[in-house]
Chain A
Amino acid sequence: MNLMSHLIAGFPDEETSIAIADALVKGGANILEIQLAFSDPSADGPAIQTASTIALEKGYSTKQGLEVVKKIHERHPETPIYIMTYGSLAFTPGIENFVKMCKDAGVSACIIPDLPFDCDEGLTEACKKHGLENIPVAAPSMTKERLETMASKGFKYIYAALRAGTTGSETTIDQATLDFIDTVGKGGAKVLGGFGIRNGEQSKVLSKHVYAVVAGSVFVNIVLANENTDKGKALAIEQIEAKAKELTGLQ
């Protein structure tokens, strides 16, 4: 199965975030979703907000964050990296500039939830021009009409946020969720499905219905619980590798 796993560039520090990426890849993750920390991540839950604040306090805004991304890319050239961040960080330097910076760091796609697919400031176009994908984020609360419009726009991937809420709560895979996933993929997009994945059983069930399972705050929470000491960080890296293995079914 495919696992897209998430980390924040520069959280809890540069060295550890690179080690986290190593652990995720070792644990079987085959896509890395790397978040560039933003001061106001309103589509994320408290765990990712806290982690973003820590990364920013250490100076990992766009440029420094993308340097971390580049290092990770150099260590794992075969693993695609998708950048996740907010519209402010893409718009302020100029969308095309931002996409170019991402490309130079080895990024292959952008996920920017607050640049809606029908008002994206030219993000999709800029991505196309530079050989990247723009990956929109769909939510179950979208009207059927809007969801179908998104699904038919020709996106190669669509990120499906599997719960009417922000990252971090438990996911149940019920019929409504399965119907939602179906609609998201209707236009041929590969579905990256997640939000709230906690254990191997959930990812196993979900993996049958999506192109890749997405897991994010489960890893961030492991780091948050251990980030204060070197020993804690080493432990977190071990646990992350184990968790990735659990989610990918390698163990």
Chain B
Amino acid sequence: MTYSNNGFFDKFGGKYVAEIIRRPLDDLEEAFNKYIRDPEFLEELRVIQRDYIGRETPLYFAPTATELLGGAQIYIKLEGLANTGAHKINNAIGQCLLAKKMGKTRIIAETGAGQHGLATAAACAKLGLECVVYMGEVDVRRQQPNVATMEMYGAKVVPVTSGSRTLKDAVNEAMRDWATNFKNTHYVLGSALGPAPFPDIVRTFQSIIGEEVKRQAAERNIDIAAVVACVGGGSNSIGVFTPFINDANVRLIGAEAGGIGPNVGENASRMTGNASREGIVQGYKSRFLIDEDGQSLPTRSISAGLDYMGIGPQLAALGESGRVEFTSILDKEALEAVKFFARNEGILFALESAHAGAAAMKIAKELPKDKALVINMSGRGDKDIFITSPVFRPEKWKEFLKAELKRLDNNEDIHDAEIMNKK
């Protein structure tokens, strides 16, 4: 199962949308099917991937981690080295280029943590498109660094004040905008979910991750036993898994957000535990964190990028068929993994990707030493400094923030600030 059957992956997927949003989806599907076979489009995309995104990204052998974990050889696919710091740019560039071919001049996107918004804002700046990013008001408050960067790229960030004021509400708002403005506007959905054709489109643009891994492994005679990736909506995971789906020798493992525990509202685990059920929400059928009536439930994760109630329909299907195994990683395990790979390999995982890292730390020993375990590091962790610093060095961080605030209040240059004169 690598491509949808008319929008469905087994029983999941579909195009469950009001007719007001049907036309833009059908138009998009038609354009995508045309351009993805157009050699000129593909060549243009390839050059941007090479020169702008910085592909291919390295497949790094992690010697110390391998030794410490005492099992399979650990390899890390460094998607965090892609421009803008995460895999999200693969999809953003692909869709923005497609939109441009379709004659659209305006791009809208939803974002939670801001990583997809950031990638879309950068892609729009590069391709000369107007960019509006919808972001829940709560997320705007807690992800200021990304808001600032999006604005630096020239995007307009619109805080969404409806509903729970987080990612899912940003999706609703983007859908509304699209329904009204689709004549000149394309909606760049950020993960491999939502109504068809988005799961197919996003997977296609993200599959370059897995294709590179496969090629790199073949070139270097690396024998892959398992690939592990974190799963929010599922774009980096389906991207790295896709070329391996039909290769039964490779275990595919998805790591979901286990948050702080197994109960409702404590995690964002759709495929493990028992907080989720089958449903139809935001245009597609999948597994969701919804209550017995079908209302969305609160979710929780230290990593904003995994903190979402739904999972892409293809992964839900691959999970139910058993092809993809799922595991759930607690906040504290993800933090440990960040530390482990930073100290031992000099590689700083994003908190999302650290869920994959943590899963690998658990299963490495189950795998033979002559085989490889590939971790997809979907993003790098610079963006998480406001979350990791308060955990790892709370006092120093507090002191820093207070001093910065004081300096800004007094409108002082850093050289003249009080903190510089403290002996």
8 A–B pairs (Cβ distance < 8 Å), ordered by A? A87-B280, A113-B18, A116-B19, A119-B14, A139-B20, A141-B22, A143-B26, A165-B179
The answer for the CA separation of A161 and B179 in the assembled complex, in Å, is: 12
Question: Does the CB pair B16–A114 fall under 8 Å?
Answer: yes
Residues of B within 8 A of A116 (CB): 15-17, 19, 22
B13 smallest CB distance to A (angstroms): 11
The answer for the CA separation of A119 and B285 in the assembled complex, in Å, is: 12
B162 interface contact, C-beta 8 A? yes
Question: Does the CB pair A49–B20 fall under 8 Å?
Answer: no
Q: B18, B26, B163: which contacts A114 (Cβ < 8 A)?
A: B18
Residues of A within 8 A of B291 (CB): 61
Q: A53, A119, A137, A164: which contacts B162 (Cβ < 8 A)?
A: A53
What's the A-B contact tally at a CB cutoff of 8 Å? 122
Segment from B170-178, B235-243, B391-399 that makes contact with A: B170-178
The answer for the CA separation of A89 and B281 in the assembled complex, in Å, is: 9
Q: Which of B18, B163, B179, B290 has the most CB of A within 10 A?
A: B18
Could you tell me the dominant secondary structure of chain A's interface residues? loop
Interface string of A184-207 (1 = CB under 8 A from B): 000000000000000000000000
The answer for the CA separation of A114 and B280 in the assembled complex, in Å, is: 9
Q: In residues 68-100 of chain A, which contact B (Cβ within 8 Å)?
A: 86-93
Segment from A19-27, A40-48, A126-134, A223-231 that makes contact with B: A40-48
Residues of A within 8 A of B279 (CB): 88, 91-92
Question: Does the CB pair B293–A142 fall under 8 Å?
Answer: no
A243 smallest CB distance to B (angstroms): 24
Given A92-B277, A114-B18, residue A38 in contact with residue B283 (CB < 8 A): no
Question: Does the CB pair B290–A92 fall under 8 Å?
Answer: yes
Q: In residues 124-165 of chain A, which contact B (Cβ within 8 Å)?
A: 136-139, 141-143, 146, 161, 164-165
A169 smallest CB distance to B (angstroms): 8
Question: Does the CB pair A49–B162 fall under 8 Å?
Answer: yes
Question: Does the CB pair A49–B163 fall under 8 Å?
Answer: yes
Given A39-B296, A40-B281, residue A137 in contact with residue B163 (CB < 8 A): no
Question: Does the CB pair B294–A91 fall under 8 Å?
Answer: yes
* Closest B residue by C-beta to A88: B294
Q: Which of A61, A141, A169 has the most CB of B within 10 A?
A: A141
Residues of A within 8 A of B294 (CB): 38, 62, 86, 88-93
Residues of B within 8 A of A18 (CB): none
A218 interface contact, C-beta 8 A? no
